Amino acid sequence: MNKKVEKKTKEKKQEPTEKNKTEKKTKIKRKIKAVPILILLVAIVLLYFLIKLVFGIKIQNIYVKGNMNLSDEYIIEKAKLEDYPSYYKNLSFIVGNRLKSDIFIKEAKVRRQFFAVINIEVEENNVLFYKENDGRYVLEDGQETSEVPYAINPITVVNYIPDTIYNNFVKKMSLVPEDVRTKISEIKYDPSDYDQSRFMLYMKDGNYVYITLTKFDSLNYYNEIYPTLEGKKGILYLDSGNHFQEIK
């Protein structure tokens, strides 16, 4: 009987101690704490690759409108989009500011559309005239430049205009409609004893026009006046009334 009891006693399983229980609980807790950290690391890695993927999307199409003299290529180059860079790195206001920093662009509106498309609309700062005395082109906002990025046959101011009159002359010229300005070939500063702000304009149709800065708005109606001349060539005095002297 004693031998059997001893055998049973040896076969009895050893109960886990308190120390073993504590170690097991610690390992479980460590595993539980490590899970959120692992998830966070995976999320960061995925976010990194997602951002890299998004910013890697290139511009697919660029549409330009509003330009009459400047080429599409010129505008795209000034916008720094000639290599079709990242769509998301080139935000609308960034591209717009690049364009407006160019002397030949007054305003620029940039709109982004789906499928990496960019629309650009510009308002050009056109050439008003060319100053023969110093070889400078004067633009609509009064800025000057020695070069123009397109072929042009501008109005030529053939002589010097005094500083006291020049700024007002530029302002008045900028208000003349484009379809009238294109009919002017040359402008000469030609003051009289009565008015120091008088100019003589040689028109491409062969007529001469005298006008002063105070009457410069009258030039806006040249397209309406011209048909009344009935093909005659001569001098139109817009500086004093509105009469025409035919030259035969």
DSSP letters for 167-189? HHHHHHHHTS-HHHHTTEEEEEE
52-97 pLDDT, tens digit per residue, is 555 668 999 999 999 999 999 999 999 999 999 988 889 999 999 9
User: Which three-class secondary structure state does DSSP give residue 41?
Assistant: helix
Looking at domain 127-246, its CATH class is alpha beta
Mind giving me the DSSP string for 112-177?
EETTTEEEEEEEE--EEEEETTTTEEEETTS-EES--SS-----EE-S---HHHHHHHHHHHHTS-
Could you tell me the pTM of the whole model? Answer: 0.77
CB–CB of 116/61 below 8 Å?
yes
247 vs 37 pLDDT, higher one: 247
Within the chain, all domains assigned CATH 3.10.20.310 are found at 61-124
- Pick the range with the lowest mean pLDDT from 8-12, 13-17, 172-176, 197-201: 8-12
Report the pLDDT value the prediction gives residue 57, as an integer from 0 to 100.
85
Asked if 105 and 94 count as a contact pair (C-beta separation under 8 A), the reply is: no
d(C-alpha 131, C-alpha 226), whole Å: 27
Amino acid letter for position 227: P
| Position 157 pLDDT exceeds 80 | yes
Q: CA dist 67 to 45, 77, 92, 140, Å?
A: 45, 14, 18, 15
Topology of the domain covering 61-124: Ubiquitin-like (UB roll) (3.10.20)
Q: What is the CA radius of gyration of the chain?
A: 40
- Are 219 and 203 a contacting pair, CB within 8 Å? no
Task: Assign 224 a pLDDT band (cuts: 50, 70, 90).
Answer: very high
d(CA 111, CA 61): 12
Check if the beta carbon of residue 186 is closer than 8 Å to that of residue 205. Answer: no
Question: Rounded to an integer, what distance in angstroms lies between the CA atom of residue 14 and that of residue 16?
Answer: 7
CA dist 15 and 3 (Å) reads 23
From the list 222, 217, 228, the residue with the least C-alpha distance to 202 is 222
pLDDT of residue 40: 73
What's the pLDDT at 41? Answer: 74
Model confidence at 47: pLDDT above 60: yes
The DSSP symbol for 54 reads H
Residues of the chain with CATH 3.40.50.10960: 127-246
At residue 88, the pLDDT reads 86
The CA angle 77-81-86, to the nearest 5 degrees, is 165
Q: Show contacts of 20-23: CB within 8 Å, 24+ apart.
A: none
Dist. CA 226–CA 192, nearest whole Å: 25
Task: Read off the pLDDT of residues 5-41 as tens digits, 9 standing for 90 and up.
Answer: 444 445 555 555 555 555 555 555 555 566 677 777 7
pLDDT at position 235 is: 96
CA-CA-CA-CA torsion sign (192, 198, 199, 200): negative
Residue in 242, 129, 139, 234 with CA at minimum distance from that of residue 186? 129
